[in-house]
Structure 1
Amino acid sequence: MTNPPLRGIISYPVTPFDRATGEVDLAALSRLTEDLVSAGSHAVAPLGSTGESAYLREAEWDAVCATTLQTVAARVPTLVGVSHWSTEGTIRRARVAARHGATAIMVLPQVYWKLTPAELEQHYAAVAAATDLPLMLYNNPGTSGVDLRPETVAALARKIPNLTMVKESSGDVTRFRSLRELSDGALSVYNGNNPLALEAFRSGAVGWCTAAPCLAPQRVLELYAAVTRGEDARAEAVLAELLPFLRFIVGQGLPRAVKAGLRLQGRDAGHPRTPLLPLPDRERERLRQMLERLARAPLADGSAVGRAQPTA
């Protein structure tokens, strides 16, 4: 396998909106991005589904891309989600990301009509050719309605040289190994299914793409550290602590859950953009309790987590 430009914990920020106006809050975005870098994230990935990319106007998308990458300032790699309904729109976003210094781009087949194999190949090839950046194919049938199986992905990668990474979020842990084997190790594979974090690393994933560090960065980073040190028992213990929280934020919808958690921690990111609605009070209380439990659990060095402690 070639040395991937991304590995470890790849953190996905939400896109904050001003609570009064509903407009993108770039100052809050910069603070959240700085928090993710300062906490020790190995990479930052704006404008995925967590970042409500599909609900942004193009000028807003550009501003979020620019602000995030300027805040990161090349201290860690950046992965920008450039998906759009059209190939033309995806290419435009890819070029904006490249102009602002992105390390790599991520493309979900965000479509209304189910694409044929020829259409998928054309779409990914055209986007890949638009920049020199490495491209991550994002397979998330739960949000896109398209399931790109390992055989399809490997075939695309053989035809598109800079398609070198895959974010696999189907929930099928066998695919991590299949993707590596079918590509003869040429594809770097990343986990996008939070509850499968440990199984994915054990099956050859080189990174975990997750919004969880927005709320519980040190716990997520500790899991990865335990994996890299070969401390299986510790990794399993940390995952057991995280699992209720990980399942909750995915089950409730990442923008809803993460924004509710940020407000609990005194870092308001506003409401999600309609048609999404804020997390209901009952679920918000459940999240508060989960964050309190995570904050009370000591890290491997015996220190308290700190950041995960809700303030209200």
Structure 2
Amino acid sequence: MHPAPALRSADLGGTWGTLLLPLHADDTIDWDRTTHALDVLVAAGLDGIYVHGTAGEFHTLGEDEYDRINELVADTCTRHRVPFQIGASHMSAQTCLDRVRRARAVAPSAVQVTLPDWLPLSRTDVIRFLVRIAAAADPVPLVLYNPPHAKTQVAPDSYAAIRREVPSLIGVKVAGGDAAWFAAMREHAGDLAVFVPGHGLATGLRWGAAGSYSNVAALNPAGAVAWQRMMVEDPAGALDVERRIQRFLADHIDPLARQGYGNPALDKFLAHLGNWAEIGTRVRWPYASIEASFAERLRPIVRDRLPELFPTG
């Protein structure tokens, strides 16, 4: 097997899907179901696969579990020549640094990191952190994952300095914004690949996004690929699908978020709703899991509202 080629910012784009963690009743990982879910992702035609984001419950993993997932994903994706990224995020900068070194050892296409999350960082702290992380990852490039709930929010006008000091940073995973936000990112972030949430990808591409680490792929990876193809072949139709995706989320997923369910629970709920692999809806203690039967009741509704995301051919 040959290592995955390291990505450049110009190469980083499209729809990427994440590996979710099927769990036994005692919160241990069901490795057979995990392997099967990974095989489905590989077969779906995604632009790449990533692990250890929020939906992958990276914040709950033991280090032995972290390493085992890395080895599984590296072996499978390398055999099938699918690009893959390893998340090395952790609330502790020191643990993150150690995870980066171990992620580098499996030769991913890129390494994703979040910023340390107990105390906010100054702009100088952000650069200091990323410089050392980049050195530990070398020659593997970096992607910064800066979600809305992070204590330190990186503003568009910070990226010019970050790019100068951390040239191996090739992309950012963010919530995105309006047309003005994208204009600011073009001014300050240059050629960094900007990834936005999956349910806003059709609009995001029009405004300059490169792709998505996709919650739509959590619902159905093959459907997310089909929808991305539509963005090229039928842009107006793809925007209509986006509106219907967002309406469905507003009607059925946002109320669950308001009840206090976290993003991993919501993404596993979407996967159970899509029924493309046996993921289940259980998330690790102490977080609440959504009742699986609720997703099962919604299956006819989502297929009726979003048939484009459930291709049969």
What does residue range 126-165 of structure 1 map to in structure 2 within 5 Å?
Answer: 126-131=132-137, 132-142=139-149, 144-165=150-171
Q: CA deviation at 1:196?
A: 2.3
SS in 2 for 1:141: coil
Match for 1:209 among 199, 202, 213?
213
Match for 2:231 among 227, 231, 247?
227
- Distance in structure 2 (CA, Å) of the matches to 1:22 and 1:49: 17
Q: CA deviation at 1:195?
A: 3.5
SS in 2 for 1:208: strand
Is contact 1:140-1:146 (8 Å) kept?
Answer: no
Match for 2:277 among 249, 267, 277?
267
Aligned alpha-carbon RMSD (Å): 2.5
Is contact 1:78-1:103 (8 Å) kept?
Answer: yes
Q: CA deviation at 1:281?
A: 6.2
Is contact 1:13-1:33 (8 Å) kept?
Answer: yes
What does residue range 47-86 of structure 1 map to in structure 2 within 5 Å?
Answer: 47-73=52-78, 75-86=81-92
Q: Which residue of 2 aligns with 1:243?
A: 246
- Distance in structure 2 (CA, Å) of the matches to 1:9 and 1:233: 19
Indicate how the Cα distance of structure 1 residues 294 and 36 shifts in structure 2: closer, same or farther if over 3 A, else same. farther
Q: CA deviation at 1:56?
A: 0.8
- Distance in structure 1 (CA, Å) of the matches to 2:179 and 2:115: 21
- Distance in structure 2 (CA, Å) of the matches to 1:223 and 1:100: 31
Report the TM-score when normalising by structure 2.
Answer: 0.84
Q: Which residue of 2 aligns with 1:288?
A: 299
- Distance in structure 2 (CA, Å) of the matches to 1:246 and 1:108: 26
What does residue range 113-192 of structure 1 map to in structure 2 within 5 Å?
Answer: 113-131=119-137, 132-142=139-149, 144-172=150-178, 174-183=180-189, 185-191=190-196
Q: Does 1:24 align with 2:34?
A: no
Indicate how the Cα distance of structure 1 residues 291 and 147 shifts in structure 2: closer, same or farther if over 3 A, else same. same
5+ residue gaps, structure 2: 1-7
Q: CA deviation at 1:85?
A: 2.0
5+ residue gaps, structure 1: 308-312
Is contact 1:37-1:76 (8 Å) kept?
Answer: yes
Q: Which residue of 2 aligns with 1:310?
A: none
Aligned length: 296
Indicate how the Cα distance of structure 1 residues 110 and 244 shifts in structure 2: closer, same or farther if over 3 A, else same. farther
- Distance in structure 2 (CA, Å) of the matches to 1:216 and 1:162: 32
Report the TM-score when normalising by structure 1.
Answer: 0.85
Q: Could you tell me which amino acid in structure 2 is paired with residue 36 of structure 1?
A: L
Deviation digits for residues 42-97 of structure 1 (CA, Å, limit 9, x no counterpart): 11011100000001111111112221222222522112211112222112111222
